[in-house]
Amino acid sequence: MRGRWRIGDQLTRRGGQPLPVEVSFDDYVEDIAENQLVLTAATRLLRLPGVPADVVGRLGRVVRVLDGVTAIPVGAPVPVVRPDRRNARYSAVLPLASLVLSGASLEQRAGSLVGTGFLVDMWSVFEDFVTAALREAFRPYGGELVAQYASTLDVEGTVKIAPDLVWLVDGEVQACIDVKYKVEKHGQYPNPDLYQMAAYCRRFGLGEGWLVYAGEGCEDVPTILLGGPIIARSSVELDRAGDVIRLDFCRFSAQVVERAAGGAFRPASTIADRNALTHEVEFLR
């Protein structure tokens, strides 16, 4: 007989018959939650680039040993495994597998206080900041400053482009601005930024494009491409007062409008407001 004989069930269900026997037993199979967690974590780690060869070998052995275990699908809830005497052998690997599947990391604590941290994509934050500031700066000139303006680069419409900002007036692109959160290398900013802006200018028939970088050190010296447009580069120094940064955006927008439209969209009230803001910022300095 396998398992534990349930005498009460035998008497009530079988009427005292000797066979079949009512028993309870544990069926030990491999496809349990513990093995599913380990297999899924190992499989995902194998997909990461740059994993050392010896680690890849050990992860591969884990996957082979757990052949027949069901992997947890992407997006499916991760089973919660409570430690007990039956899974004591998994005590070291289960927390590590849970970290992998939750996208978390190890935490080394020093002290009794624990704070909550978070990560942000700084390029996205900077792009949103510049977009909001330039929309305010362009408002007096009319038109519309559109973010992520969707268009195509080829005749068939298969090569998609989306400049960070374009200034539309009567439905026509008058200026194109791309925002970059990058650090200069070898004393200059990446050449691919120039290639990208040159393609935008060619697509919209513009004679000049604008690149806006975070930080300082970017000279406002335009780059004149052979047979192509002029690419102007500017930088936003984020460690200064808000009014000073606001003034820089006002000056930048005035420069873009003047180059793009020859001053036709520059109202006199805007000049007076900008002069007043200039005096105010100089006083704050």
Q: Is the dihedral of CA 62, 67, 69, 70 positive or negative?
A: positive
Evaluate whether residue 275 is within a structural domain.
Answer: yes
pLDDT of 244 above 90:
no
E strands of the chain, at which residues? 4-5, 23-24, 144-147, 151-152, 160-161, 165-169, 172-180, 208-214, 223-224, 230-236
Both 97 and 127 in one domain: the answer is no
Query: Is the bond preceding 20 in cis, omega lying within 30 degrees of 0?
Result: yes
Confidence of residue 86 (pLDDT cuts 50, 70, 90): confident
Both 166 and 258 in one domain: the answer is yes
Evaluate whether residue 116 is within a structural domain.
Answer: no
Give residue 116's identity as a one-letter amino acid code. T
Strand pairing category for 223-224 and 165-169: unpaired
Both 241 and 126 in one domain: the answer is yes
The SS3 call for residue 214 is strand
pLDDT the model gives residue 277: 42
260-264 long-range contacts, CB within 8 A, separation 24+ = 260/167, 260/174, 260/175, 260/206, 260/208, 261/141, 261/169, 261/174
Mean pLDDT of 19-45: 83
Dump pLDDT digits (tens) for 173-222: 999 999 988 766 655 556 788 888 889 998 998 888 898 888 765 555 66
Both 21 and 143 in one domain: the answer is no
Q: Which two tokens stand for residue 9?
A: 């069930």
pTM: 0.52
**CB neighbour list of residue 251: distance below 8 Å, 6 or more residues apart:** 274
**Host domain of residue 130:** 122-284
d(CA 248, CA 266): 17
Both 156 and 246 in one domain: the answer is yes
Evaluate whether residue 114 is within a structural domain.
Answer: no
First to last CA, the chain: 92
Both 76 and 206 in one domain: the answer is no
- The residue among 102, 137, 162 that closes a domain is 102
Evaluate whether residue 171 is within a structural domain.
Answer: yes
Both 47 and 160 in one domain: the answer is no
Dump pLDDT digits (tens) for 190-203: 678 888 888 999 89
| Total number of domains in the chain | 2
CATH number, domain of 151, equals 3.40.1350.10
